[in-house]
Structure formats: C-alpha cells, structure tokens
Chain A
Amino acid sequence: MIRKRVPIRNHQAEAQLFFRRAAFCLVVVCIVFLVLLGNLYRLQVTSHEEYQTRSNSNRIMVLPVAPNRGLIYDRNGRILAENIPVYSLEVIPEEVRNLDERLLEVTELLSLPLENIEQFNQQLRYSRRFPQIALADNLTEQQVAQFSVHQHRFPGFSVEARLQRNYPFGPLFTHSIGYVGRINEQDETRLEEAGLSANYAATRTMGKLGVERFYENLLHGEVGYQTVEVNNRGRVLRTLELNSPTPGQDIYLEVDAGLQQVAIEQLGDKRGAIVVLDTQTGGVLAMASTPTYDPNWFVGGISVAQYRSLLSNQDNPLINRATQGRYPPASTVKPLIGLLGLQEQIIEPETRVWDPGYFEIDGVDRRMRDWKDGGHGWVNLDRAITESCNTFYYHLSLQLGIDTLSDFMHQVGFGHRTGVDILEENAALMPTRGWKQARFGEPWFAGETLSVGIGQSYWTVTPLQLATTTQVLANRGSRGVPRFLRAVEEDAGLRRVVPQFETPIVVDSEEYWDAVQTAMEHVTSRVTGTAFRAFNDANYTAAGKTGTAQVVRLADEDDAERPETEDVEERFRDNATYIGYAPADTPEIVIAIAIENVGGGGSNAAPIAREVMDYYFEHLSVDGRPISAIADYVEPAEEPTDAND
C-alpha cells in the first residue's frame, strides 16, 4: 500500500519542536507556581496577623453572662424569693424552617398548651433582646427527656437550663415583695437612660413591683462575660474564658413570714389591708393586702387570659391596699385630734362637753349625728376616745378650724407618702382650704370641718399612713420611717440597715401624751371601750382606736334608724378601721387595719388586730423586741466596746 505522498516529514525536527514547546511550558509552569507561592506567602506570612485576627473575630465572641439574682429572706432567715433551675424550651426562629408546623409538632409532642404558641408568636412580633424565644418554661424531666429523643427533628429548638425566680410563699407577699418579670421595651429604654444596658445585657427579668423593684440595684448584681468559640451559625461550641458575674446581694427583710401568714388569713376573703410596724425602727413586720394573687404567674410571662382576669376583677387584686388603698380614717384620727386640742389649749384633759346625740351648727339647719342614739351625755377627752364620741369632736374640730387641723395632720404625715421602700405608694389626701378651692372652686364650709373632725369628708389615708401616724402616738412624737429592708449581705458580712427616725410632732407637755395614750388604752381595757370585747382577755396591754367609715352617706339628721349591717348591699356597707399598739406602756408594735364593706371597726377590725397581736406576742416578742435571726441594729455610739468584754 502506498500512501498518498506527503512532504517528507522531519521527525527529528518535529520532536525537537515539541521538546522546545514542552520545555517552554515547564518553565511557564515553574513561573506560575512561583507566582502562586508568592501570593500565598503574602497571605500567610506578610498579612498573617491581619488574617489571624479576622479568623479569631470570626470564631470568638464575647457573650455576657447574667448574674444570679440576690435572694430575699424574712427577718428570721426564711426564704421569700429564690432562684430555682428550670428547663425551658427555646427557639431561634431564624434557624427554623416551617416555623408554624414545627411549633405545632413540638407542642403536640410535649403536650404543651396551644396557648404557648400564641404567646410565642406575640413575642416574635416585638423586638427582641435575645435571639431565642421561650416556647415553654418549667418543662418536666419527662418532657425534657422526650424532647431530647426527638431533638434532631427540631433544628433551632433547644432545651436550656436557666435559673428562674420563685416565690415559695406564693400570694402571701405579692404586694410587698412584688415580683420580677420579663424586661420589656419600656424597661429597656429606662435601663438605657440609666446607663445600665450593659449590665443587663444577659438579664432576662427585672423587678417589676414591690421590694423586687425597689432594690433592683442590690439584687441584680454585675454582669459577667465569657469568651466563647462559635461556629458560623453563632452556636456556642465551647467557653475559652469566663469572667464570672458578681451575683446580686442577698437581702433580709423586716417582715416575718409567720406574722404575714396570720395577717393574710385574718383578712380571708375580705378586701382590706393590715400593716404591722416595729415601733422602735419602723420596720415593716407584716403588710397584707387582699385579695392577692400568685406572683409566680408573672415571672415567666403571664398569659393574656390570666392577666385579663386580674385586671377585670372588681376587687382589684393588683393594687396594694396597704399603700395605695385610700380609706377615710374615720374615728381612728380621734387621738391625734385630741392631742392637737390639748396642744392648742382648746381643751384640757378634763374639759367636758354635753352630747345629746347630735350636734348643730348655729345658723345651719342640719344636725350632725353621733353614732349613739340619745348621746353619751357629759363627755371628756378620755371618754370621747374610749367610746368614740363624735359630738365631742364636732365641738373640738369646729374650734380648731380646718387650717390648724390640716397643718397638724400634714405634719403628722397625712397627705404625704411615708417614704416606705416600695414605689407603689399613694399620698392619699389631707384636705385644706386651698385644696378645696383648687379642686372644686368652692370655699371651705364649716360643716366640712366637722366631718374632717371625725375622719371623714375628703380626708383619706392609706393603711400604711395610719400605721406610721400611730407610731407617732406610740412613740410620743417620733417614728422610724417604714422600711422593708433589714440587712444586706455584703462581702464583709451582713450590713444592718440603719433605721431613719423623724420627730414630726413636739407638744408642750408630756401630760398631753399621757392623756391620749391612757384613753387609747381604755379603748381596749374599759368595758365601754369600743375594742374591749376584742382585747378583753389579752395577756398583754394594748392601746387602740376603732373606726367605722361610711362608704356612702346614708344617714340624714332625721333618719333615726341606721340600716342594719346585713341589710345593706355589700358594697355600701361601712369600712372598718383600727389602729393600735402594744404593749401599751412599752410599745413594740403598731398595727393599722382597714377592711372594706364589713361594718363597724370595733367588731370587725379590732378582733383581727387582736389575733395578729396575739401571734406576735406568742411567737415573736423576745425581750421586748420582735425576734430576728439577723442581729438588731446597734446604735453606733454603743458599738465600739472592748472586744474582751
């Protein structure tokens, strides 16, 4: 076979051509490799540090660590607010596909209430402080186990162990200790304004009410930081460094859980408030307000239904009746007005007034009635207080006039906040001429002074105000500012809070105090005393004063008959009030009570005061002081004693 003639190929030359071209390529390969290497050298050596830093900032995050909240104890070391570990199911919505479906699935799996999804979606709509949203708090061990098994089906869902505030006494202390709740947008703004945002970077809840709110700064602590390694989805893989947070300080309150329990039980299903103060320090031994509710509802976020039920409850469980309830003080103000009468020298201890059962002002065709039909007859200050005679006080107050009365009562503390260490406090109202003019554009009428003289008309007080003003009576002019806080746990040990004292009233003669205090003691010790039946067989001496405030004006001068308590519709019945202290000669505690729509104070409030005081003297009174596991405050002057003593 002869192929088609092709020009003679020079195989040698062609091989050499290939060799040249191949060699050229190899040289290019070398050069290119050197260029690649040069570039890598630039990245790995010249710019190494920059990339090292960027690599670290990729993987290393500094996360804030929330401090543990300080615990709250009562005066005898019983725990009132604690932190318990709970398992919560948390979701990072951005990491979940088909969120709605997954939520339904997991809710079904763990048999969670469907309401949780609603709440979850609600939180989803608002701006969030943390990437994760809790779908359920307080998972049981069983639910945790169940979820762990199916965890792979729920990317973006995780069970987190967290410390949650718990109030073991439930509704007992709601109004005084309050509760913590989720930090919301308003809180955040407030924190930002206070420059505390950084300190709260990892905190989920803060004090919303009562002591929890007032002492937020003590209880919260200092945020800590941990340096963690994260992956590209921000999930923490391990902790590289931990800067522990400083836990909040534990605090001890003046309250006694036992006494509080008795107070709440005594109020029962009635609406009202009881305040018990340590006469010597102003320490709040008990502060009860009913109806109450469980503060634990608020900790993990209260459900809409629960909150609505609290809001729409006619009995207003949300308000603290002890500090926000405004009640006419009624006859409980009689000792103080009596004292004023003595001080102003309008009366003397033995000044007598004739009581026909009513009082008439000249030129006014209207009779002011005494509660006792037919009157008390001749009445002096002692009888006027013991038997609570109105007519005596009509005379007295008319002579004092509204200005003197008002000035004095403002001085004692009515119409002003007491300065107690919770923020929910109302100043109530001690009316003045100027107030009336401003409020109604009307001048003050003399008849109104008469009403004020028996603690009615525009005059309103809070039970706490009643207690602090009673303290003034018990201490003959001075009082300790009401305080919940007794001691703070510090590094060096317990720091006892120094009580603050005030002396709002100074009178010219100790005899004035004698007269009023004796009369108050007669209230409980004389057969004619309005609280005699309640304190008849007490094994301590007590001083007190009852009060019965009309809720609506039922009585007219000609209405001879006052309707029987049982016949009146419940909400129109009288409010019962009571103030008192004991023992009568060396007062340890003062008490103030206001109960709505139950009838007279003598038969409805005084017996309650008796029960509370009984408990106190049986269980708490030691050496003339309310007992406490936390040492009593010692006057600095007496403190530096020789260690060898």
Chain B
Amino acid sequence: MQTTEERDRHPLLAKLHIDGPLFLGLLALCVVSLFVIYSAGGENSRIMIAQSIRIGLSFAILFIVAQINPARYSSWAVLIYLFGVALLVAVLFVGVTGKGAQRWLDLGIARVQPSEVLKLAVPFMLAWYCARKELPIRTTHVIGGLILVMIPTFLIYKQPDLGTAILVATSGIFVLFLAGMSWRLITLGGFLAALSLPLLWIFALHDYQKQRVLTFLNPESDPLGAGYHIIQSKIAIGSGGVEGKGWLQGTQSQLEFLPERHTDFIFSVFSEEFGLIGVLGLLILYGFVITRSMLISIRAQSMFTRLMGGSITLTFFIYVLVNIGMVSGLLPVVGVPLPLISYGGTSMVTMMAGFGIIMAIATHRRLVVSN
C-alpha cells in the first residue's frame, strides 16, 4: 500500500532515505568540527581521530534512523517518553555522580546519560499529544502539554543539569508553539515567567548557577575566578578581527588561555582563527541546515511529523543560539555545546538521530490515497 517515492531526489539518495542538501550541510559542519578540534586540541591527532570515529558513528545512527518510517514513532512516542522518565527517576536513585552532578546511569558496559533520551522523547510525546488534538491547540490542552514537559524537565533540573533541562523544556514548548498555542497565552506565559524570575533566583537556582548569572552580568568583576572563562573567550573572539589569526595560529587557544577549548568554548577558537568572515560562513551554514530542516518539516505529511521535525529543528537552533550567545557574552554560561562542532559524544549522537528523523520525514512519503 505504501510506497516511497520522490520525484526530485536522486534515486540512490532516495533509496538511502537521505536528503542531499541537508546531508551536505551536516557533513560540512562536521568537517569544520574536525579542523577546529585539531587546532583547539593542540594539534593532537588522537582527539581528532576520536572525533572522527564519533562523527562516523553519528552518521551511522543517522542512516539507521532515516530508514524508519516516521509515522511509526507516533505509536512509540508514549513508550519512549515513559521509558525516558523512568530512566530519569532511576538516575535520581542509583545514578553515578560526575562533575558535581548525578547524570549518569552505569550499565556496566557504558555510562549513559538518560537526559539525552529525553531530548527526543519529549518532542515525540508532545507531537503525539498535540497531533491528536484539533489545532490550533486549546488552552486546556496546552496545560496538559506543559505538565508532560515539566515532569522530565524537573527531574533533569534536579540532577542538576540546567542546560539540558532548558533544552528539553524548550523542545516541548516549541511543539506547543508550532501547534498553534494562542498568542495571548504566549504573552501571558512570558509575563508570568518574568514575574517568577525573582522567585526562581531565590528558591530554584544553586549557588554556582547564581554565580554564573552574576558573572555573566559583570565578568570583569572577577577576572581570575568565575569571570575568567568569559573574558578569555571574548578576548579570543575580539582579537580574531575580520580575517582571523589563521588556522592553528590563535594565540588564545594555542597558548591555553582559553578554557574548555575543544568543548563548550570551541566557537571562540573558531572565531579567533577564522575571524568575522569565518563566523559569517558558519552562521550561514547553520542557517542553511535550520532552514532546510524547517522546510522539510513544513512539507511533512502528517501533523505529528511536522511538529516533531519543527521541534527538533528549533532545538538545534537553540543549541546554536545558547552556545554562541554564551561564549560571546550575551547569555550566561550554561554547559551547552556548539552543535556538531564541539568535541563530545552523547549530544552529537542525539543530534544526528534527530536529523535522521528529519531525513526520514523528507524521504518516507506515502502516496496520497483517498479513502
């Protein structure tokens, strides 16, 4: 009954369920990643090889995920969501502590970070939830949706992992937004959020999180302590100028003044070495990937896949925004990597799985059959 068909796609790509332009965009980002990591890691080929392996693995997962008809997720959404929440609860009780937070589950062979699962499970769940409703979504349903979002968000926040909690929450809220949540509600929500900020400050934020915010507001107040990262990062970016210092020539990174060079602050390395021109190119590349993904989502055939694709796309954008905003001093420092470029495993795999879903949305099209 259902056949795949795509007129404007290369037969091979169609067979592989790959969207060519999106694939090229992702590949380009990964190539950039390898170059910058080589430089940031002090020309250490070991780090570059590790990243290459990770990229390869991520693409493999992308391929696998792309083969699955996205309509199926619809029936899996609830299960995945419940499974993810269960894992989070497990983390609270039997999780492994690392870097001052309890984020990992030790499975014997490997440690997994259940919050990563939620980055996809929440959009699934919300997309499934909203797709069942008549759109634009009603206020009562929005509240139901928010509850679904808040449960895992709260659990992740408790670990504590503010960065991921925010990302998971936004990915769910994006679904609600795309599902047509009324503007009045959005305004009201924004208003309430602004009102609750002082309460959040007093009751919800840990000391180190408050410190981050304070440092963000005035990094020069503590140049050798908490403000050091952001100052050094801004010096790296600023000293890069228009043309940059050249690949492997960034003194801030090569001489190790810059912290977290190949992970969270990799954008600073990139800006220092490639300048404003490089930055412009990188943003265009990100913009291309986001636009392409969004277009695929718009052209998706069911509301469930649309909402899912849109949410994944916008979450990806949020990564870019938060990371660049943070290293350039516009946002407080939260541990969010620069998607597809920062060195690091789990988030990259999750991200690529997300793009696998978008590929699937683009390529698994059923012929419109009239009932």
A pairs with B: yes
Contact bitstring A190-206, B, C-beta under 8 A = 1, else 0 = 00000000000000000
CB neighbours (8 Å) of A378 from chain B are none
Interface stretch of the complex, out of A28-36, A467-475, A495-503, A549-557 = A28-36
Most buried by B among A13, A51, A54, A229: A51
A5 within 8 A of B: no
A45–B241 touching, CB < 8 Å: yes
Among the 9-residue stretches A18-26, A171-179, A256-264, A609-617, the one with 4 or more Cβ atoms under 8 Å from chain B is: A18-26
Check if B252 is an interface residue, CB within 8 A of chain A. Answer: yes
- Interchain nearest-CB distance for A298 vs B (Å): 39
Task: Bits for B228-272, please: 1 = Cβ < 8 Å to A, else 0.
Answer: 000010111111111000000001100111000000000000010
Is A111 among interface residues, defined by CB-CB distance under 8 A? no
Segment from A126-134, A139-147, A230-238 that makes contact with B: A230-238
- Does any Cβ of A come within 8 Å of B325's Cβ? yes
Asked whether B25 is an interface residue with its Cβ less than 8 Å from the other chain, the reply is no
Q: Which 6 A-B pairs have the closest CB atoms?
A: A51-B238, A55-B239, A231-B255, A43-B238, A232-B256, A44-B276
B241 touches A52 (CB 8 A): yes
Residues in A whose Cβ lies below 8 Å from that of B239: 48, 51-52, 54-56
Q: Are A6 and B257 in contact (CB under 8 A)?
A: no
Nearest-neighbour CB distance to chain B for A50, whole angstroms, equals 7
| Bound CA–CA A15/B252 (angstroms) | 49
Scan B287-301; emit 1 where CB is below 8 A from any A CB, else 0. 100110010011000
Inter-chain contact B251/A59, CB cutoff 8 Å? yes
The answer to whether B53 has its CB under 8 Å from any CB of chain A is: no
Cβ of A124 under 8 Å from chain B: no
Whether the Cβ atoms of B330 and A36 lie closer than 8 Å is: yes
Our pick among A9, A29, A32, A40 for the contact of B271 (Cβ within 8 Å) is A40
In whole angstroms, how far apart are the Cα atoms of A26 and B232 in the complex?
Answer: 32
User: For the complex, is B332 an interface residue (Cβ under 8 Å from A)?
Assistant: no
**Chain B residues closer than 8 Å to A25, beta-carbon distance:** 174, 177-178, 294, 310, 314
Q: Is the CB of B180 within 8 A of A48?
A: no
**Are B235 and A51 in contact, CB atoms less than 8 angstroms apart?**
yes
What are the residues of chain A within 8 A of B255 when measuring CB–CB?
58-59, 229-232, 237
Q: Is B306 an interface residue (CB 8 A)?
A: yes
| B177 touching A21, Cβ below 8 Å | yes
Whether a CB of chain B sits under 8 angstroms from the CB of A148 is: no
Residues of B within 8 A of A17 (CB): 135-136, 180
Given the known interface contacts A40-B271, A229-B255, the answer about A48 and B238 at a Cβ–Cβ threshold of 8 Å is: yes
- Pairwise interchain contact B238-A19, C-beta atoms closer than 8 A: no
* Contact yes or no, B237 A43, CB < 8 A: yes
* B306 near A18: Cβ-Cβ < 8 Å: yes
Q: Cβ of A9: which chain B residues have Cβ within 8 Å of it? A: 134-135
In the complex, what distance in Å separates the CA atom of A19 from the CA atom of B134? 16
Residues of B within 8 A of A56 (CB): 239, 251
Q: Which residues of A contact B234 (CB under 8 A)?
A: 43, 51
- A22, B280: Cβ atoms under 8 Å? no
Q: Which residues of B contact A41 (CB under 8 A)?
A: 276
Residue of B nearest to A37 (CB): B283
Whole-angstrom distance between the Cβ of B136 and the nearest chain A Cβ:
6
Q: Report the minimal beta-carbon distance from B306 to chain A, rounded to whole angstroms.
A: 5
The winner among A14, A43, A51, A229 for most chain B CB atoms within 10 A is A43
Nearest Cβ in chain B — how far from A627, in angstroms?
59
Q: Is B23 on the interface with A (CB-CB < 8 A)?
A: no
Alpha-carbon distance between A13 and B180 when the two chains are bound, in angstroms: 11
A48 near B241: Cβ-Cβ < 8 Å: yes
How does the 8 Å CB contact mask read for A98-127 relative to B, with 1 for contact and 0 for none? 000000000000000000000000000000
* Interface residue? A7 (CB, 8 A): yes
Q: How far is the CB of B4 from chain A (nearest CB, A)?
A: 21
Q: Which residues of B contact A229 (CB under 8 A)?
A: 251, 255
Contact residues in A for B297 (Cβ distance below 8 Å): 18, 22
Min CB gap B283→A, angstroms: 5
CB distance from B218 to the nearest CB of A (A): 17
B328 touching A40 by the CB < 8 A rule? yes
Q: How far is the CA of A29 from the CA of B310 in the complex (A)?
A: 13
The answer to whether residues A45 and B310 also contact, given A22-B298, A36-B321, A39-B330 and a CB cut-off of 8 A, is no
The answer to whether A47 has its CB under 8 Å from any CB of chain B is yes
Q: Chain B residues near A51: list those with CB within 8 A.
A: 234-235, 237-239
Tell which of B135, B256, B291 has the most Cβ of chain A within 10 Å.
B135
CB interface residues, B 153-208, toward A, < 8 Å: 174, 177-180
- B307 located at the interface, meaning its Cβ lies under 8 Å from any Cβ of chain A in the complex: yes
Chain A CB within 8 A of B317 CB: yes
In the complex the two chains form, is A37's CB within 8 Å of B328's CB?
no
The docked-state distance in angstroms from the alpha carbon of A33 to that of B290 is: 11
Given contacts A6-B134, A59-B251, A44 and B279 within 8 Å (CB-CB): yes
Do the beta carbons of B135 and A14 come within 8 Å of each other? yes
Give the docked Cα–Cα distance between A230 and B280 (Å). 31
Complex partner residue of B328 from A29, A33, A39, A55, CB under 8 angstroms: A39
Q: Which residues of B contact A50 (CB under 8 A)?
A: 238
Q: A55–B232 Cα gap in the complex (Å)?
A: 8
Query: What's the least CB distance linking A388 to chain B, in Å?
Result: 80
**Who on chain B is nearest to A35 by CB?**
B330
Tell me whether A40 and B294 are in contact (CB under 8 A).
no
Residues of chain A within 8 A (CB-CB) of B242 are 44-45, 48
Report chain B residues within 8 Å CB of A54: 235, 238-239
User: Are A18 and B298 closer than 8 Å at their CB atoms?
Assistant: yes
Asked whether A33 lies within 8 Å of B287 as measured between CB atoms, the reply is yes
Q: B152 within 8 Å of A by Cβ?
A: no
Q: Contact: A22 with B180, CB < 8 Å?
A: no
Compute how far the CA of A32 lies from the CA of B325 in the bound complex, rounded to whole angstroms. Answer: 10
Q: Tell me if B325 and A55 are in contact (CB < 8 A).
A: no
* B96 CB-CB contact with A under 8 Å: no
Q: What chain B residues lie within 8 Å of A37 (beta carbons)?
A: 279-280, 283
| A19 to B, closest residue via Cβ | B298
A218-238 contacts to B, CB under 8 A, are 229-233, 237
Residues of A within 8 Å of B321, CB to CB, are: 32, 36
Bound-complex Cα distance A154 to B298 (A): 60
**Least Cβ–Cβ distance between B219 and chain A, in angstroms:** 13
Check: B333 CB closer than 8 A to any chain A CB.
no
| B361 proximal to A (CB < 8 A) | no
Is residue B70 contacting chain A, with contact meaning CB distance below 8 A? no
Q: How far is the CA of A45 from the CA of B280 in the complex (A)?
A: 13
B174 to chain A, nearest CB (A): 8
Check A55 against B235 for contact (C-beta < 8 Å): yes
Contact A232 B276 (CB under 8 A): no
A-B CB contact pairs (8 Å), 26 listed: A17-B136, A21-B177, A21-B310, A25-B310, A26-B291, A26-B294, A32-B317, A32-B321, A36-B325, A37-B283, A39-B330, A40-B279, A44-B237, A44-B271, A44-B276, A45-B241, A47-B238, A48-B239, A50-B238, A51-B235, A51-B238, A52-B239, A54-B235, A54-B238, A54-B239, A55-B251
Minimal Cβ-Cβ distance residue in A for B307: A18
Do B135 and A58 have beta carbons less than 8 Å apart?
Answer: no
The distance in angstroms between the C-alpha atoms of A516 and B324, with both chains bound, is: 100
Residues of A within 8 A of B279 (CB): 37, 40, 44
Q: How far is the CB of A466 from chain B (nearest CB, A)?
A: 65
Interface centre among B235, B283, B290, B307 (most CB of A within 10 A): B235
Given A22-B310, A36-B321, A43 and B294 touching (CB < 8 A)? no
Residue pair A22, B178 in contact (C-beta under 8 Å): yes
Task: Indicate if B303 sits at the interface (CB-CB under 8 A).
Answer: yes
Partner of B252, one of A7, A29, A43, A58: A58
Q: A7-B134, A29-B291, A232-B257 are in contact. List 19 more A-B contacts (CB 8 A).
A: A18-B306, A21-B310, A22-B294, A22-B310, A25-B310, A32-B317, A35-B330, A37-B279, A43-B234, A44-B275, A44-B276, A45-B276, A48-B242, A52-B238, A54-B238, A58-B252, A59-B252, A229-B251, A237-B255
With a cutoff of 8 Å between Cβ atoms, the chain B residues found around residue A6 in the complex are: 134
> How far is B256's CA from A21's CA once the two chains are assembled, in angstroms?
44
